[in-house]
Amino acid sequence: MKGKLPDCHPMKLMKAVLTDSRMETILKSKDLHAVSYFVHRPLELDRCWQSYKVATRHHYCPSDMGLWADTIRLLEQCGKDICNPKYICPQNLRAEHDYWMNRHNQMEQKRRSQEQMQRAKRKEAEFYKEKSRYFGITITDKDLVISVLDTLEAFQAEGNALHHCVFQCEYYAKADSLILSAHDKEGNRIETIEFSLTEGKVIQSRGLCNTNTPHHDRIVRLVNAHAHQILAAKQTA
């Protein structure tokens, strides 16, 4: 205990050293930053201990122990070997942390999308029962093609492409709404349109991130001008 002590309360330090041989080992190695970090985070030490021993053998000293521990957690969640020096001893810790955080977020997004699609599939039969009579309706002019979204996958793709909640908020399950997608002649998505089957008109149309595009007013006018086409299909119920 000679020399500088870790940046933590002496009582907390003594209790940790006397009850956890790992903390004694870290203290004897004079890695005071690690002692200061793990003395308050015993669960983090459980996760990182094997990685810490490997890093120490490779003379790796993290510039930020908290950031390094977070990186170990992200590696583990991404299914990587947390005893592999290739992963746990990065030259640029910040860049490595950010890389695996992005990978983890992508995996989580994919998992949530799959779970949401599974929930949506339970409502698929009702969706086809209520909306299949509108499938195939297409509204066009010289620059635009507007068609009904006719599958759950189409709703999911629409929401992902335009970054809005048409799939997450289950617009396919709204009994009074018909959802259409406006594209240009090259097939690029422009806006997603919600048409009220009760009011017989467009009640909203949203482009990327719920913004209005330069085509907004034109899209709304075009769909409203063809409302009779949609309402005629409604009468076939």
Q: Give tens-digit pLDDT for 178-213.
A: 999 999 989 999 999 999 999 999 999 999 999 999
Residue 182 domain-assigned?
yes
Please give the residue range of the domain that contains residue 145: 124-234
Residue 149: pLDDT band (50, 70, 90) is: very high
Q: Does 4 reside within a domain?
A: no
Q: Are residues 64 and 93 in the same domain?
A: yes
Q: Is the domain of 154 the same as that of 182?
A: yes
On whether both 220 and 135 belong to a single domain, the answer is yes
Among 113, 136, 151, the domain boundary falls at 113
Residue 2: per-residue pLDDT: 59
Q: What is the mean pLDDT of residues 33-50?
A: 90
Last residue of a domain, one of 94, 113, 132: 113
Per-residue model confidence (pLDDT) at position 1: 55
**Predicted confidence (pLDDT) at residue 127 exceeds the cutoff of 80:** yes
3-state secondary structure the chain: CCCCCCCCCHHHHHHHHHHCHHHHHHHHCCCHHHHHHHCCCHHHHHHHHHHHHHHHHCCCCCCCHHHHHHHHHHHHHCCCCCCCHHHHCCCCHHHHHHHHHHHHHHHHHHHHHHHHHHHHHCCHHHHHHHHHHHCCCEEECCCEEEEECCCHHHHHHHHHHHCCCCCCCCHHHCCCEEEEEEEECCCCEEEEEEEECCCCEEEEEECHHHCCCCCHHHHHHHHHHCHHHHHHHHCCC
Are 72 and 148 within one domain?
A: no
pLDDT in tens, 93-110: 999 999 999 999 999 988
Record the pTM: 0.67
pLDDT computed for residue 59 by the predictor? 93
- What pLDDT does residue 198 have? 92
At 153 the pLDDT is 93
Q: What is the pLDDT of residue 16?
A: 81
Per mean pLDDT, which range of 3-7, 55-59, 116-120, 227-231 is the poorest? Answer: 3-7
